[in-house]
Amino acid sequence: MAVLSRLLRASALTASCSLYAATVRRRGLSLVASEGDLRLPSSAHLSPLGTRKNLTGRNVQWAFLGCPGVGKGTYASRLSQLLGVPHIATGDLVREELSSSGPLADQLRGIVNQGKLVSDEIIVDLLSKRVEKGEAKGESGFILDGFPRTLRQAEILERVTDVDLVINLKLREDVLLEKCLGRRICSQCGGNFNIACIDIKGEDGKPGIYMAPLLPPEGCASKLVTRSDDTEEVVKERLRIYNEMTQPVEDFYRKRGKLLEFELPGGIPESWPKLLHALHLDGLNREQSLAA
Ligand SMILES: [Zn+2]
């Protein structure tokens, strides 16, 4: 049973103490029994390659949390380039699978066409396949974007690998709303822009916040359209659902001392250096700028 052996291998290698390993193995067995053909990411036990390693000698295994529109894809992608680890976005995995053929793609198309949520099992399956493919190419470590989204996903992930750090990106809700409502797409080339210019002065000891708009080039300016679901009502509902689902995930990592709360102080130029500082990576950024 390939699934089981992979799971056992993952569990055994994750744990250094044999008693713990046995517990993990037991948990793994019950997981397989109760949840069917679950394939889990066997990414933890990474070869000591790569640029940035933690105390156990492997690359970072980080995840990003943050509500829709906060820009976590951008920060996750930048960090993955800086650290030389793959940026794995579950949204991309779903899109890639949808564009392929096979039984899983068919199943996924059915779910998406009915407007249903993709189950935790399918997301874990896609993630697992992606991590294994990467490992075969010599990748190690990861920055996850869009996973874990639910408490259940966090629990599944915890059984097979150690996430070192979860970065929770936050942005004031009024700013977030304004940013989401400022999104525009060019109907001709599909380019994404944002016409919202956020410039809130600091008051009562609270810092101000500035986020420049992302304006289109001249050729696109007259062809901008708004996504039909970028209305105030829909954006607020999206945020409400996100918060409800993610609160337990935040608590899960907070309890384990793995949650880094990061309040975005503005757009990328303002936020990026501060984020690196919070992650103790400012030196690395300088090295890279000098090398560039
Ligand atoms: Zn255009």
Q: What's the confidence (pLDDT) of residue 13? A: 34
* Domain covering 39-173+231-291, topology: Rossmann fold (3.40.50)
- Enumerate residues with CB within 5 Å of ligand 1 (an ion): 186, 188-189, 191, 220
Q: 214 C-alpha vs ligand 1 centroid, how far in Å?
A: 13
Q: Residue 104 in contact with residue 118, Cβ under 8 Å?
A: no
Give residue 27's pLDDT.
34
The pLDDT score that the predictor gives to residue 57 is: 61
Model pLDDT, residue 38: 29
Q: Which residues are catalytic?
A: 72, 149, 183, 227, 238
- Residue intervals in the chain for CATH 3.40.50.300: 39-173+231-291
Rounded Cα distance, 76 and 254, in Å: 20
pLDDT at 236: 92
Q: What's the 73 CA to ligand 1 centre distance in angstroms?
A: 22
Q: How far is the CA of 181 from the centre of ligand 1 (A)?
A: 19
Residue 276 CA to ligand 1 centre (angstroms): 33
Alpha carbon 156 to chain centroid, angstroms: 16
Distance CA 246, CA 241 (A): 8
User: What pLDDT was estimated at residue 256?
Assistant: 96
Ligand 1 geometric centre to CA of 196 (Å):
18
Ligand 1 centroid to Cα of residue 92, in Å, is: 23
CB 120 within 8 A of CB 153: yes
Series of mean pLDDT values for 10-residue runs along the chain (292 residues) = 38 31 32 29 32 60 92 93 94 91 90 85 87 88 92 89 93 92 95 93 86 94 91 91 94 97 93 94 71 57
Q: Separation of 197 CA from ligand 1 center, angstroms?
A: 20
* pLDDT value, residue 56: 54
